[in-house]
A and B are shown apart, each in its own frame.
Chain A
Amino acid sequence: MSLLKSTSVKTFIGACCLSLAVISASVAAKDSTKPIVIPIHNWSSQIVMAHVIGGIFESMGNNVEFVPADTQAVYESIRIGDVTISHEVWQSTFGKSFYNAMAKGGVIDAGTHAATTLEEMGVPNWVIEQNLCPGLPNWEALKEEACYKNFTTADSEGKGRWLEGPQSWHGDMMPIRLKALGLDEHWTVKFAGGADALWTELVSAKKEGRGTMVFNWTPNFTDAEGYTFIKFPEYTEGCRKEDGGDGKCGSPNGWLKKAANYKFPKTHPAAYTAFSKISFTTKQVGEMAALVDIEKMDHQDAAKKWLADNEKTWKAWTK
């Protein structure tokens, strides 16, 4: 009796599997209706782009969900599958977290944007106009007393101060570079806690008219007022200390990548194809940021406007 029962159960399961296989074969090409989860961070271009990409997915009939997330921790969430994609992976700030998560497995590289980025120490243009550091943007200018004395702060013990982003961005790269270039006698690195601190420093230094040297990147909203990046000895493959070099080099022209959870191509094949084709240029990234930062639009409205204005561009990616 029990034998009979178990056989019938097995048959039943078998039938189920078969029918499931038939159903799934017929829908395999279609995207799952489960929402694609897009992370929201705290800077304008990223948020607008999140809504732009969300809009593209929605136009293809997908469901989309937005979730606020920390910029570094998000890669762990993508790895586990709680977040589906990340569309602005900056080489120098998030490269470390991105590759760490990729090494553990679960994150895939979904292509690179056309936009190239630069992330480097620099000064706002008015610092150069006021001639607070004669000879910039050449890095050798930093050696002169006429330069570093304009960049001291109360806690820098007479040295000029580099305000670098938090250590989670590039660890000890900047202190190592200072030392390698022999600048550590006259300069010291202070790690800020986050991007807010960098922007506040820029505003405050401008109001006071004092020199300030701050880590920044482009494309960014600071481009509008003008920002000069310091020209360090050119970056070559392997020039950094952790790659075995001597550390005497600046930052490379960086990439802006897209990341996705490894299941995304299987669960949403059409959306993934579109996502892998998406490639924003520097100008487009700048436009999205400007809609919010300069025209003071709401992020979602900005995304709607961008989608309406650039229909040709993004429609091509969905095909």
Chain B
Amino acid sequence: MLIALKQRKPLQYLLLLVVFMLLYRFVPQSEANWLWRLPSLFKELPIIINDAVNYLMFEWMPISVYDPDIEEYEQKPLFGQITRGFSGVILFMIELVREILLGGVKTIVTFTSWDWVSENKWARWPALPWTVITGGMVILGYSLGRAKLALFILCAFTYIAVFGQWESSMKTLSFVLVSAPIAILLGLWLGVWAYRSKTVEAVMNPLLNVAQIMPHFAYLIPVMVFFGIGDHAGAIATIIFATPPMVRLTVLGLKKVPPEVAEAGLMAGCTDRQLLYRVLIPSARRDILIGVNQVIMQCLAMVVIASLIGAKGLGNDLLIALNQLRVGKALEIGVCIVLIALVLDRLSLAWANKQTDYFANLSFKEKHQYSLIFLVVFVVGIALAVLGSFIFKEGFNYLYLIPQNKGITTEAFWQWGVDWIWEAFFYSFKAFNVWFIVEVLIPIKNSFLGMPVVATFTLMMGIGFIVGGIRSALIVGGCLLFIALTEWWDRALITAYLMTIAVVISGTIGILVGTLAAQHPTSSRFILTVCDTFQTFPSFIYLIPVMMFFGVTDTSVLIAIVVYATIPAARYTIEGLRSVPQELHDAASMSGVNRFQRWLSVELPLSFPHMALGINQTVVFALSMVIIGALIGTDDLGQLILKSLSDKAGVGNGLVLGFCVAFIGLAVDQILRTWADQRKQALGLS
């Protein structure tokens, strides 16, 4: 009997389920019963953390800093001064890029002073005319990717200019042009480090998860205190959020490089450095480039949140438009964000794919043809701008800078669209919504909340044990224990209920769509573009119509989560299926399988590591939407995180709540990852 149990996993799961059901049924519900709910021993933890952070922020190692404005010495803590120095560097870079694009005075101030600039009103850096920037980008696109890319960039930038979003878009662009490269380099460096050392990888993995899952609002105030408010703070929050996928994909890519390649490099006499930069990274290029794509997407996905801590540009405009319920306007702004994301992504891809021709013997003119064309564009653009200042006597010079919100707009059309959907579908939506809430959501929610703590632990640790032995069981248990000992276990159960439903729906849709799309290169390219679009298109925009149709309910929250969390499932499925070598397809076809059998027995197992990473990321994406859900209105952990912004012990509350969300993710990650590793081993893939 026991031996049979040891060998048959389904039997083990069945037994676990029976135990779980018994516990669920027979543990009495009373607050005094520890099997029902654990006592909140960690109740003081937020306050302790709050005090510790406050101490670090405001008291530890004070140094005297002279403030010339009030002519007094002030005691300032060392740690804050260091972080402020760091943010000064980032802010300088952002301002520099921004002023090249839009003109301004900050860069000059950095080298002189506000006093000097105020006295010398001529000392202003002029903006580049929008025609010059567009022309420059088009030339860059042409030189890297030829006509198609150039045409796309031309359309994108013209759209931005014509719709009157030029200034905000350039502000956002300058912010992304600084944070994305930092995130990419940091991610690459961390990835290589993790690849070289098992210990580093083991330590880094949970940290990456925490960085990605931890809701941004949880660290909004600490970031604001340490780094100040402004574009730099937004950039730092963005970097924290955008780096993890880069690290992951770098590690994944490097691990997939066959040892023969590295050995060949060594035999050719590579130094360590050469081996890394000339052999390993180029061989792992495919995955590293997905990482770059992800960084760019995540950076632009953060634009709105970053605007809450001072990032200027499109994100802020979007929030303002939404507060006026101007869905059409918000949509146009959202499209600008997506276009910037796509342009940067395609440009970086084209740049990375460009082969250097070492043997070409070019003349000066050939070598510098693009610079020369740009010079022409530059001169013509400025001439046009000067000309414009004579034509447009009143108000704005459309040939120089298109003023904010003075372009054309399609707002009326979108408003009409929303009204039309309302007329046509509202009552069907409403009927569905009522059915879904009453028959599906409320029962599931109640069953989650009716779960005794001992049953939850048994179930989760049991799965951990069956999948990965005692080690996994302990890790899962540890994560859950932390949450159970805070006073927010019930809230966490509600978060878990939303996540479970969302991940099931997203995973199913994502794998299905991904599989279908991967059957043909064109369709997979199309779906990947759709993924890019929805990953960067701010969810806030479709939240307004969604809330209009489905109200302030959990249905709206789920729709928001599913739209976002389906992306990684689809993306990684496509990447996985498409990375199956053609020879294997041919070999399988030759042995007489049909298309479905080939998918089931060859492609699916081989693309499994990618897909598991996809589902893992689906969980991560879903959890990172907790805060968006809170912005609609939920009663889970997210709501409290939102509330912590105005709490007295807000920093501590926010961080502990953030960790609760992150630990849910870590527990799921532990199970999924161990299982995936085992499958890989069984398939001989690792």
Contacts from A to B (Cβ < 8 Å): 24, 32-35, 40, 42-44, 47, 61, 63, 67-70, 72-74, 76-77, 80, 82-83, 94, 96-97, 100, 103, 153-155, 163, 166-169, 171, 190-197, 199-201, 203-204, 207-208, 221, 263, 266-267, 292-293, 298-300
B624 touches A (CB below 8 Å): no
| Of B70, B229, B635, the contact of A82 (CB 8 Å cutoff) | B229
Contacts across chains A and B counted by CB atoms under 8 Å: 173
Query: Do residues B639 and A167 form an inter-chain contact, with CB atoms below 8 A?
Result: yes
- Residue contact B310 to A154, C-beta cutoff 8 Å: no
> Shortest distance in angstroms between A309's beta carbon and chain B's nearest beta carbon?
19
Interface-lining segment among B253-261, B266-274, B551-559:
B551-559
Residue contact A168 to B642, C-beta cutoff 8 Å: yes
Chain B residues, CB < 8 A from A207: 422, 426, 548
How many chain B residues have a CB neighbour from A under 8 Å? 68
A68 x B316 contact (CB < 8 A): yes
Contacts of B544 in A (CB 8 A): 196, 200
Do residues A68 and B311 form an inter-chain contact, with CB atoms below 8 A? yes
Q: Which of B134-142, B343-351, B434-442 contacts A (4 or more CB under 8 A)?
A: B434-442
Is the beta-carbon distance between B229 and A199 smaller than 8 angstroms? no
B61 to chain A, nearest CB (A): 17
Contact A201 B551 (CB under 8 A): yes
Write 21 A-B pairs (CB below 8 A) sorted by A numbering: A33-B117, A42-B319, A43-B320, A44-B323, A68-B308, A68-B319, A76-B221, A76-B224, A97-B645, A100-B647, A166-B643, A168-B642, A168-B643, A191-B639, A196-B631, A197-B552, A203-B548, A207-B426, A208-B426, A263-B67, A266-B69
Q: Are A67 and B229 also in contact (CB < 8 A) when A32-B69, A201-B552 are?
A: yes
- Whether B118 lies near A33 (C-beta < 8 A) is yes
Interface residues of chain B, those whose CB is within 8 Å of chain A, are 67, 69-71, 113-115, 117-118, 220-221, 224-225, 228-230, 307-312, 315-316, 319-320, 322-325, 404-406, 422, 426, 430, 433-434, 437-438, 441-442, 540, 543-544, 547-549, 551-554, 629-635, 639-640, 642-648
Given known contacts A200-B548, A201-B547, A193 and B646 CB-to-CB distance under 8 angstroms: no
Question: Distance in Å from the Cβ of A200 to the closest Cβ of chain B?
Answer: 4
Q: Nearest CB to that of A300 among chain B residues?
A: B404
Most chain B beta-carbon contacts within 10 A, residue among A195, A200, A298: A200
- Whether A263 lies near B70 (C-beta < 8 A) is yes
Interface centre among B324, B437, B553, B639 (most CB of A within 10 A): B324
Question: With A and B bound together, what is the CA distance between A32 and B441 in angstroms?
Answer: 58
Tell me the complex Cα distance, A266–B639, Å: 39
A199 to B353, CA, bound (A): 48
**Which residue of the partner chain, among B311, B325, B639, contacts A196 with CB atoms under 8 Å?**
B325
Q: Which of B308, B633, B644, B648 has the most CB of A within 10 A?
A: B633
Chain B residues with Cβ under 8 A from A153's Cβ? 551, 553
Distance of A78 Cα from B629 Cα, bound (Å)? 28
Q: Does A154 lie within 8 Å of B320, measured CB to CB?
A: no
Does A167 contact B221, Cβ atoms closer than 8 Å? no
For A63, the chain B residues whose CB sits under 8 A away are: 114, 118
> B119 to chain A: closest CB distance in Å?
8
Whether the pair A192, B552 counts as a contact (CB closer than 8 A) is yes
Q: A163-B552, A267-B69 are in contact. List 8 more A-B contacts (CB 8 A).
A: A34-B69, A42-B322, A73-B221, A73-B645, A154-B438, A168-B643, A200-B325, A221-B324
In the bound complex, residues from chain B placing their C-beta under 8 Å from that of A195 are 323
Instruction: Say whether B324 contacts A154, CB under 8 Å.
Output: no
- Nearest-neighbor residue (CB-CB) of A77 within chain B: B229
Interface pair B229/A193, CB less than 8 Å apart? no
Residues of A within 8 A of B648 (CB): 100, 103
Q: Do the beta carbons of B635 and A204 come within 8 Å of each other?
A: no
B308 touches A73 (CB 8 A): yes
Complex CA gap A310/B437 in Å reads 53
Q: Which of A80, A100, A200, A300 contacts B228 (CB 8 A)?
A: A80
A96 contacts across to B, CB distance below 8 A? 646
Shortest B125–chain A CB gap in Å is 16
**In whole angstroms, what is the CA distance A166 to B633 when docked?**
7
Q: Within the assembled complex, what's the spacing in Å between the Cα atoms of A197 and B546?
A: 10
Residue in B115, B224, B228, B406 whose beta carbon sits within 8 Å of that of A73 in the complex: B224
**Bound-state Cα–Cα, A171 to B307, Å:** 25
Report B-chain residues with C-beta under 8 Å of the C-beta of A196: 322-323, 325, 540, 543-544, 547, 631
Residues of A within 8 A of B437 (CB): 154-155
Q: How far is the CB of B478 from chain A (nearest CB, A)?
A: 30
Known A76-B221, A167-B639: A204·B547 in contact at CB below 8 Å: yes
Give Cα A299 to B317, complex, Å.
11
A204 CA to B426 CA in the complex, in Å? 10
Output the nearest chain A residue to B433 by Cβ-Cβ distance: A154
Measured CB to CB, the closest approach of chain A to B213, in angstroms, equals 19
For B638, give the chain A residue with the smallest CB separation.
A193
**B645, A204: Cβ atoms closer than 8 Å:** no
Given A100-B646, A154-B434, A190-B552, are A67 and B547 neighbors across the interface (CB < 8 Å)? no
Q: Is the CB of B114 within 8 A of A33?
A: yes
A198 and B319 CA atoms in complex are apart in Å by 14
